[in-house]
Amino acid sequence: MNQHCNNKPELKVIKPDSENIGKYCDIIGNIFHLLDRLDIKKSIERFNEQTRLYVFEDKDKYISVAFISPIEIGSILFGGIGGVATRVNYRKQGFAKILLRKVIDDNKNLYQALLLWTRIPGYFSGIGFEDASTYFIDDPNGSIPMMYFYQKKEKMFFGKMAKLPRRYF
Ligand SMILES: CC(C)(COP(=O)(O)OP(=O)(O)OC[C@H]1O[C@@H](n2cnc3c(N)ncnc32)[C@H](O)[C@@H]1OP(=O)(O)O)[C@@H](O)C(=O)NCCC(=O)NCCS
């Protein structure tokens, strides 16, 4: 029997290169609508040495993914998280949650806080992210910024800042 068939999807943390970016774009193209895909494409163009892809891989395809890349706002270095997605047939099995928990854990010494933009805040608040809309210029139709603070003092710093422009990555 081919042992590969019995393997469970494996969580990998990888540096982006041309091959894995191709596989990453395949899942993003499969899941997101055009406008979101354009935003994610812009982020991919800005990937750098510090960027990491978190991927669950099954049968040579990515089935659940996210990326993290540094982004500086004020004096705070954020891990900017983007492109969180799980293929439809693999949903509700905990893949994205496991992946995001690893992102949070792995990056606690690299970044002061994490930031992502989403239209499904309920999902991310379940993982510890907080609605950060009040820190940004209002846009009732835009997606919602959410932050994960490793330390309370970073959160207090944000409370004192003027409203931030909405687009960072
Ligand atoms: C959101 C998403 C990544 C979750 O992936 P997943 O691997 O199925 O997630 P998990 O298995 O960890 O969690 C599934 C749980 O999240 C819940 N969930 C899914 N979408 C949700 C939403 N919009 N709001 C609140 N909860 C949601 C599911 O109901 C499920 O709950 P259950 O465990 O009580 O059954 C996946 O649904 C997806 O790819 N959606 C489309 C892309 C997207 O919107 N990405 C986020 C952009 S920032």
pLDDT at 84: 97
CA of 128 to the centre of ligand 1 (A): 14
Q: Is residue 169 part of a domain?
A: no
CATH number at residue 81: 3.40.630.30
Output the residue whose Cα is nearest ligand 1's atom 17.
Answer: 123
Let me know if residue 137 belongs to a domain. yes
23: helix, coil or strand? helix
Q: What is the pLDDT of residue 1?
A: 40
**The model's pTM:** 0.91
Residue nearest to atom 25 of ligand 1 (CA): 123
d(CA 128, CA 100): 10
Which tokens hold the place of 38?
């354009």
Q: Which two tokens stand for residue 163?
A: 């409203």
The reply to whether 164 falls in a domain is: no
**Residue 51 lies in domain:** 3-159
pLDDT at 167: 66
Q: Which residue puts its alpha carbon closest to atom 35 of ligand 1?
A: 92
CA of 6 to the centre of ligand 1 (A): 25
Residue 62 lies in a domain: yes
> Cα dist. 138→36, 82, 133 in Å?
19, 21, 7
**pLDDT at 55 (0 to 100):** 98
Q: Which residues line ligand 1 (CB under 6 A)?
A: 31, 64, 84-86, 91-97, 116, 118, 120, 122-123
Specify the number of domains making up the chain.
1
Q: What angle separates helix 34-45 from helix 18-31, to the nearest 10 degrees? A: 160
**Biggest alpha carbon distance in the chain?**
62
Tell me whether residue 167 is in a domain. no
What is the amino acid identity at position 76? I
With the most atoms of ligand 1 within 8 angstroms of its CB, the residue from 64, 86, 98, 103 to mutate is: 86
Structure tokens at 127: 């993982």
Q: How far is Cα of residue 45 from the mean position of the Cα atoms in its chain?
A: 15
Nearest-CA residue for atom 19 of ligand 1: 123
Residue 165 lies in a domain: no
Mean pLDDT, contiguous 10-residue spans, the chain (169 residues): 64 95 94 86 91 96 97 88 96 98 97 94 97 89 92 76 71
Type of residue numbered 151: Q
Is 28 a domain residue? Answer: yes
Q: Which pLDDT belongs to residue 154?
A: 75
